[in-house]
Amino acid sequence: MNKPLFSLIKVSLHALGCLLVVLALTGCESANTDTMSKMKGNLRVALAQKIMLDLRYYCQPEQLIQYRNEQVCRTPMTELPEELAAMIQDSNVGGIILFAENLQSVEQVVKLNHDMQRAAVDSYSGLELFISIDQEGGRVARMPRDLATSFSGNMAIGATQEKSGNYFAEQTGRILGLELSALGFNLNHAPNVDVNVNAENPVINVRSFGEQANLVAELGAAQLKAMQQQGVVGTLKHFPGHGDTSVDSHTGLPRVDHSIEDIIAVDLLPFQTAIDQGLAKMIMTAHIQYPQLDNSTFTTNDGSTMIKPATMSKRILTDLLRGKMGFEGVVITDALDMAGISHFFEPIDAIIETFNAGSDIALMPFRIRKAEDIQLLAQTLDQLELAVAEGRLSQIQVLESVERIFRLKQQLSSDFSENQLSENQAIANGVVGNPAHRQLEQALAEQSLVQVKNEQVLPIQSDQRVHLLMPDLGKCRALEQALKLQNSRLTVTCSDLHQFEYQQTRHHMLQADVFLVANITPKQSAVEMGGMEDIELQARGVQPLSKADQDTQIESLLRLAKDNNKSTIFVSLRAPYEMSRYEQYSDALIATFSYNVHTEDFGSDKNKNNGNVQAVGPAFSALAKLLTGKIIASGRLPVSVERTSDSLTTTTID
């Protein structure tokens, strides 16, 4: 049988199977006891399809460790154990989200996803899982950066828009989709279409394309379309907008007090654009209060009264998103174990509230970490069935929601037969992180560079001595090595803020001709630094500087360098808003929007460094080329930076 005809028959049978399940779920009033019993079983299947689980860690009893008087699991789930395969098959759960801890190699990821899908298609429903990941690029990239193409992120793309239009949005969407599809993912929680209008935003900042809603809408739609053309469903997030918050919803409950006019013109515009273009298949809710959209309240589990977050608001998710904006796709929550929800709701109450509000899928409502936790899923489904029976959850609404999920799943196409596994692994090895993708990754890093100021200190001359002050040791090594690669005659030394010693840094700075400081605002997490330095610091008994102390020390050293006639360069590695603080002490100001580093082993077979392991990152390679005059900066700031003098501008300096 030819392959196109076979695929058509397969898709048709799949669609017919889904239709039969939906018809079985609807039931009828005249059904007898046996039919009602079967309907109850099907209702459970329907409810299970509305759950997406986090399987980041999973432990056998001997793998549990003692932490603060309790046993916890920190063993990454990289192979599917029998009990989790049985859970997927028996429960008919609708989706799984994977994280960096689950992902070690191309072959391993393909097999893990393959095994999970095999368990799913053997279930009663026969429906494939949504296997999802947060692979935005830039700050949020779960696949190991030495394996997969991660790019510099959305604000870097925004910086290229004036010169390159939608090119990098389209190409990053295409490559992210190609690589994820090859790995067995069918759902990516990207792109981020929040409009970042708050310089103090701790969680979005460079994850946004910029501060202009039209720009964000255009680039977001372009990236989404390109990704979905590769067979990976994209998720627009975080509705109705996370761009003007100063609280991270991972740790608290943010509030946005925009007027209705601003909400429509700014926050909602990127979502509306994608809906109007027929691109929006899934939208993720935000755990954020929007009083102008819904000022109704709820009672928290400690008895206090608060305004409902969007995730729990029927006015926002049903009346606004579906009714007024015309969205017909699937609504998924942001993670329900985030503090913006978990501090105020018990897990089952959070699920019921968000389903009643209009969400279709509850993301990460609880954690499966050991065999006993599998019962949490069964207990949750019991409680949800009871909520339907008691009228606290509408059965009609559940079934309408499941129909939306089924319709979206019918658009997924995969082959999970055993004889395809090795073939799929080989294909993925040829696709993921291939040289053409890496070239585009480097091109984005270079073309997104913004040179905001240069008082004739760039390029750095070959006979100059350069001292770097970097956020951590890995970034020291990355820029040192990148500079040496561009100009082997440079003398380069480096201090880092994570293991900061003022007198030593001062000494090196005074011996140098050029003092370059690179900083990350908001401060990077331990995860972003890679974890190794935390161990080193603990062993040495060194406490890293607080962010406030880091900023004070940077300002002091830049001022001292200027007083001693050193050339001073400040590089913003994340959100460029911080430039205004250091502008008066800096002869040059540069924005990269990215700072990520990974290690690569350049073996002797490649004739590089005799097998030395090097710290590398596209942003640092691009920065080194700019500093040594090999390229010019052609990007423009996609956000406004407060000016302290006329020299701080957003114009390109050629």
pLDDT digits (tens, 9 = 90+) for 118-159: 999 999 999 999 999 999 999 999 999 999 999 999 999 999
Contact 601, 611 (CB under 8 A): yes
Between β-strands 282-285 and 330-332, what pairing exists: parallel, antiparallel or unpaired?
Answer: parallel
Lowest-pLDDT range of 34-38, 62-66, 281-285, 476-480? 34-38
Read off the pLDDT band of 538 (50, 70, 90).
very low
Question: Percent of the chain having pLDDT more than 70?
Answer: 86
Contact 406, 22 (CB under 8 A): yes
- For residue 257, count other CB atoms closer than 10 A to its CB: 10
The mean per-residue pLDDT over the stretch 434-444 comes to 98
Q: Which two tokens stand for residue 400?
A: 């309408």
Lowest-pLDDT range of 386-390, 391-395, 509-513, 647-651? 647-651
Q: Which amino acid is at 465?
A: R
The answer to whether residue 25 scores a pLDDT higher than 60 is no
Lowest-pLDDT range of 271-285, 404-418, 448-462, 571-585? 404-418
Contact 453, 653 (CB under 8 A): yes
69's CB contacts (< 8 A; 6+ apart) are none
Lowest-pLDDT range of 66-70, 472-476, 567-571? 66-70
Specify the pLDDT at position 351: 96
Active-site position among 267, 334, 472, 496: 334
* Helix or strand run (H / E) with residue 138: none
Specify the pLDDT at position 645: 59
The mean per-residue pLDDT over the stretch 309-326 comes to 97
The mean per-residue pLDDT over the stretch 280-304 comes to 92
3-state SS assignment for residue 358: coil
- For residue 503, count other CB atoms closer than 10 A to its CB: 7
3-state SS assignment for residue 620: helix
Lowest-pLDDT range of 68-72, 190-194, 541-545? 541-545
The mean per-residue pLDDT over the stretch 65-73 comes to 87
First to last CA, the chain: 60
207's CB contacts (< 8 A; 6+ apart) are 136, 138, 139, 140, 153, 154, 155, 192, 194, 196
Name the average pLDDT for the chain.
88
Specify the pLDDT at position 343: 82
Q: Which two tokens stand for residue 351?
A: 């699920």
Report pTM: 0.89
- For residue 543, count other CB atoms closer than 10 A to its CB: 9
The mean per-residue pLDDT over the stretch 351-373 comes to 96
Q: Which amino acid is at 581?
A: R
Specify the pLDDT at position 131: 98
Read off the pLDDT band of 366 (50, 70, 90).
very high
Contact 347, 365 (CB under 8 A): yes
Burial of 602 from C-beta contacts in 10 A (0-12 / 13-18 / 19+): middle
Rounded Cα distance, 592 and 620, in Å? 9
343's CB contacts (< 8 A; 6+ apart) are 252, 253, 300
Whether residue 302 lies in the annotated active site = no
Q: Can you say how many angstroms the Cα of residue 293 is from the centroid of all Cα atoms in its chain? A: 26
Beta strands in 346-475 (DSSP E): 362-367, 450-454, 465-470
More confident residue, 534 or 190: 190
Read off the pLDDT band of 418 (50, 70, 90).
low
Rounded Cα distance, 644 and 435, in Å? 43
Specify the pLDDT at position 22: 44
Read off the pLDDT band of 377 (50, 70, 90).
very high
The mean per-residue pLDDT over the stretch 289-313 comes to 91
Tokens 């039209």, located at residue: 214
Tokens 């298949």, located at residue: 281
- For residue 509, count other CB atoms closer than 10 A to its CB: 24
Specify the pLDDT at position 225: 98
Contact 513, 506 (CB under 8 A): no
The answer to whether residue 18 scores a pLDDT higher than 70 is no
Specify the pLDDT at position 523: 74
Specify the pLDDT at position 71: 87
Specify the pLDDT at position 344: 84
Rounded Cα distance, 510 and 639, in Å? 34
99's CB contacts (< 8 A; 6+ apart) are 54, 56, 133, 134, 142
Lowest-pLDDT range of 518-522, 532-536, 550-554? 532-536
316: left (phi over 0), alpha (psi -120 to 50) or beta: alpha
